[in-house]
Amino acid sequence: MKIIQDLDQYHSAKPLALSLGMFDGVHRGHFSIIDKLNQIATEKELESGILTFWPHPRKVLNPQDDVLLLNTLDEKIELLDKAGIQNLFLKTFDEAFRNLTGEEFCREILIKKLNVKHLIIGYDHTFGKNKSGNFELLQQLSKELDFQVEQLGPVDFQHQHISSTKIRTALATAHIVEANDMLGYAYSLSGMVIHGKKIGRTIGYPTANIEVPEGKILPKKGAYIVEVWLDNQFYKGMLSIGTNPTVNGEKLSTEVHILNFDGDLYDQIIRVKFREFLHDEIKFEGLEKLIEKLDDDKRLTEEFQF
C-alpha cells in the first residue's frame, strides 16, 4: 500500500475508486465499503484508495481537545493494508482545507488532484465547510465531472448500526465481546514495556507495564483476559487497567501478567488483544485477598477458549 501525505505529489496512471472519512477502528461497517471498493477497482481496472485525516480534525481545530481514538496511525495503516487498499491518502486538516466547500473539495481534490472515477461514501457521510458536501451534491456533480458515486447503507449488529462511537461506548462499559463483534477482530493495544513499581513479582504475579500510545482509547478500568503477542508468539494473559488501589497507587497503569512466561521484556514492544472482561477494579483489604482473586482470574484465563 502506498501512503501519500502530499496530494500534490500524487501521480498515477490509473484513476481511483475512492472512499473518504476517518475510518477510526476500521470496523465491519468500514470493511463493507473497503470490500466494495476493491471489487469496483478490479472490475473497472482502477486503483483503490482511502482519503483520511491525520491528526483528527478535532485536534487541529482545538489542540486542547483530548480526543481519543480506537486506532493509532500505525494500527490504521496495518488494517487498511491487510484489507487490500492500494493507496492511503493522509491529509492534514489545515486552514485552507477546512475552508473548502463541498463542491470545491469535489472539484479541486477528488477530481483534479486524485482523478477519482468511482466514489463510495457511507450512509451518513458529509464533508466540506459547514458540512456542505453530501451524497445529493455528489450526484449532481457526477455527470458534469464524469465520475460515479454510490452510498452504502449501514452494517447492523444486534439491531443497531455499527459505528466507531458505539464501539467506544462498548469499550467504556467493558462490553469487550460486543466491541470485538462490531470491529470484526479483537480490540488490541501495542506499546513498549516500561518499568513499574514491580509489586507483582513479590506476590507471584510479575507484570509487564505497557506504555499506552498517546490518544489511544483504553477500555474501562478492571481486569481482562487477553491474548499476548511477543515476536509472533502467542501467550495467554490477564491484564489490569487501573491505579492498583490495594497498594494505594495513584497513577493509571496498564499491566499484563503473561501465563507460562519468564523473561525480561523491558523496552520491547508487546501487543495485547482483549478477549473478555473479568471484573471491575477492586480495592482489597490486603495482599492475601488480592492474591486469592489473582488465582481465580488465572484459572478463568487458563480455561478460556481462545
Please, what are the domains in the chain?
2-157 (3.40.50.620), 186-303 (2.40.30.30)
Q: Which of 70, 85, 75 minimizes the C-alpha distance to 33?
A: 85
- pLDDT by residue (tens digit) across 198-239? 788 889 999 999 999 999 999 999 999 999 999 999 999 999
- Give the pLDDT score at 201: 87
- Give the pLDDT score at 114: 97
Tell me whether residue 162 is exposed, middle or buried, using C-beta atoms within 10 angstroms of its C-beta: 0 to 12, 13 to 18, 19 or more: buried
- Give the pLDDT score at 197: 78
* pTM score, whole prediction: 0.94
Half-sphere exposure of residue 268: CA atoms within 13 angstroms, side-chain side: 12
Residue identified by cell 449488529 is 157
- pLDDT by residue (tens digit) across 232-267? 999 999 999 999 898 888 799 999 999 999 989 999
- Give the pLDDT score at 144: 96
